[in-house]
A and B are shown apart, each in its own frame.
Chain A
């Protein structure tokens, strides 16, 4: 089956995405394993055509034959793009009817043809990844593109052998990626700061319709400018120190650019970063190293005016659309540079303090939206059944008053999980099943949904009965809990409907509380778990002592009995880890040593099979889940 993809055909980089299983859109890596592909095409002197990263790698030795920024020329007329034509390293000439042509070694190419080569690579690589043909695509263009630019982009798709299902606006695609079209009527601001261009758009979104109300921007502002500021700063500082200008050395400059970009990325998550470029250059006195610290504050100072340049276009777009900051319902960030905290801060200030949407990768959000549009047009997304998740974990109270989660929060429903539990005491004939909801470690801190008792368990040593507890949440969020004794088949169940009707604010509060108390809860849980472990070890040691009885040397037996008594006392007194942990270690050692001690004591008579009995029993014990029911 052929697949329809979504393509973000960018000025510097392009991205392709497709709808995968369950109507979810994902970015597809290219043949080189990268999620973005440079929008660069090169024609080499030996007649090869290169697209993407490989084309970029040879740009410096083939400047006239390497075409980039084709998007700045597509659908334009000769005379409209004189400025752009002057900046680029390749030859831009006038074609028939004032059309734009790129000339490489006497051969002319239209911007559409160049774009088509990029689209072709993206589609081919996607087909390889998906294992199916890619014949149809939704392609995005800037909101300010006119009819001729849109038509030319569509033609590029056709030249690439793709059926262009639709050309959509980049900000619209971003809104689709966030599912805003499914909400009510809203005013959305899309702030797109890419590698080399800045666009801001105001959209009216709602009821499946997206309308662009205003656009503005700056055709030459982006992440590359930020990098250059860092490079200049580093080079200036180095020159001050060492008297050498690294910008005159292409090799050093390249390393500087790489380090600058990395520092910029680091500073989005940390407040300072180290830049180490050993042996960056040398003079008569020997090799020179660049070692510098760049703080976020310094970086923000270096790029303050660049970030400030986004203010004008945002205000312009607002006034063109005749809205104020307070009218904006949603803000979407697009483009890698929007990861910079100072950029986000400015956006917040310009939009009346609204928290921007940035959960979808800003480099990928446009392609994701385009893929979703392609999926809708192909009917792949239409029938997606909306599935709910459970907002809070569901579980049981087990030995020591802890909560054992059976279904974790955010599990998609319907869902069913079964776990096997056992008894905590010898000859226990009934267990209380306490159904809990919440994220805290201790049962008492969570919400109790139900409590019921399963009776008729055949008397047996603790840990032997197998009680199967099944939690089943149906599509409506109704929870069915069933407890069944696997031995007798005795069964009890309860149905709880109120799991679903929790107030969202209650859910948030409970999750927040769990996070707040996470550390203390973990410690308390650890203590209880340790005491439970000690208890089961003491029990096993006692069993062993009883089994081996007279075969044990007297002093071994006395030591074991003393330890068991100590353990019981520690549990009784709810002792802390400092007391419980050493006891666990001692008892573990005893449990292992006792059979051997008995064997060597009986060595004279020789009874090798005698000690075998205890060990497998111990192992079988561990198969049963450690959590056990409390006893009435």
Chain B
């Protein structure tokens, strides 16, 4: 990395030792000084303006790229973070299933405690669980895995949550998988 100089004593005689620098000749300018060649001048001015425009565009592109890359990096970081959380949610699912299958055994009590610990950990990451029977089905938050007729609930009500949903703030990390009430013959 270039380190910025604290003091620069050699700044004034910077060109002193350059071996290859040749003195500038001014004679060329004097020779053609009579005719400025207006057409050529206009062409050159046009080219200069064009180059300046392109240069500015390139600089602006770089600036915009830098800004977008920064946003993109933040987005990807969040995405990776969530992907990792999502993978671990599968373990939470398994613990939940194990606890449910355990009945009244002491092991099941231990699993319930483990599940609470996982929930607390997720809570610290800003992740909360959602999805309860009786809620209204919302495809933004729920994924229907089956439909079942119900006498008790109107169509579109969640009858069973087969896999909990998780959200982080107002962002759905993973939709809840649900069984939804639906009387046969609704679709006319």
Binding site for B on A (CB under 8 A): 20-22, 29, 33, 42, 44-46, 50, 54-55, 57-65, 105-106, 250-251, 254, 278-279, 282, 286-287, 383, 417-420, 456, 466, 468, 484-493, 495, 623-625
Contacts and interface: CB of A to CB of B under 8 A. Distances in A.
A50 B19 contact: no
A487 B11 CA distance: 9
Given A55-B139, A251-B162, 5 more contacts: A50-B139, A278-B97, A287-B97, A489-B16, A493-B20
A59 B2 CA distance: 59
B38 to A, nearest CB: 28
B188 A466 contact: no
Interface string B11-23: 1111011111000
Given A105-B188, A286-B101, A490 B17 contact: yes
Nearest to B101: A287
**What are the 8 tightest A-B residue pairs by CB atom distance, in nearest-first order?**
A489-B10, A279-B97, A64-B187, A21-B61, A58-B139, A57-B143, A21-B65, A418-B2
Interface residues of B, number: 47
A33 B79 contact: yes
A20 B79 CA distance: 21
Given A420-B3, A486-B9, A493-B18, A57 B61 contact: no
Given A487-B9, A488-B10, A489-B14, A65 B97 contact: no
A250 B20 contact: no
B94 interface: yes
A250 B145 contact: yes
Contacts of A59: 144
A54 B139 contact: yes
Contacts of A62: 187
- Interface of A: prevailing SS: mixed
B17 A21 contact: no
Interface in B16-75: 16-20, 54, 61-62, 64-65, 68, 75
B186 interface: yes
Contacts of A383: 54
B186 A492 contact: no
B9 A106 contact: no
Contacts, number: 116
A223 B182 CA distance: 31
Given A55-B139, A278-B98, A484 B20 contact: no
B20 A282 contact: no
A491 B14 contact: yes
Contacts of A64: 187
A486 B147 contact: no
B65 A60 contact: no
B177 interface: yes
Contact of A466 (B5, B140, B146): B5
Interface of B: 1-3, 5, 8-14, 16-20, 54, 61-62, 64-65, 68, 75, 79, 94, 97-98, 101, 137, 139-140, 142-147, 155-156, 162, 175, 177, 180, 182, 186-188
B75 to A, nearest CB: 7
A61 B144 contact: yes
13 contacts: A50-B139, A57-B144, A61-B156, A61-B182, A250-B145, A254-B177, A487-B9, A487-B10, A489-B13, A489-B14, A491-B18, A493-B18, A625-B1
A486 B5 contact: yes
Contacts of B13: 489
Contacts of A418: 2
A62 B146 CA distance: 10
Contact of B180 (A61, A65, A419): A61
A313 to B, nearest CB: 35
Contact of B139 (A57, A105, A419, A420): A57
A493 to B, nearest CB: 7
A220 to B, nearest CB: 25
A94 B14 CA distance: 85
B10 A254 contact: no
Contact of A251 (B5, B20, B146, B175): B146
Contact of A61 (B8, B19, B147): B147
Contacts of B54: 383
B142 A57 contact: yes
Given A250-B146, A287-B97, A487-B9, A492 B17 contact: yes
Contacts of B10: 484-490
Contacts of B62: 21
A278 B96 CA distance: 11
A549 B180 CA distance: 87
B78 to A, nearest CB: 9
A44 B138 CA distance: 11
A493 B19 CA distance: 8
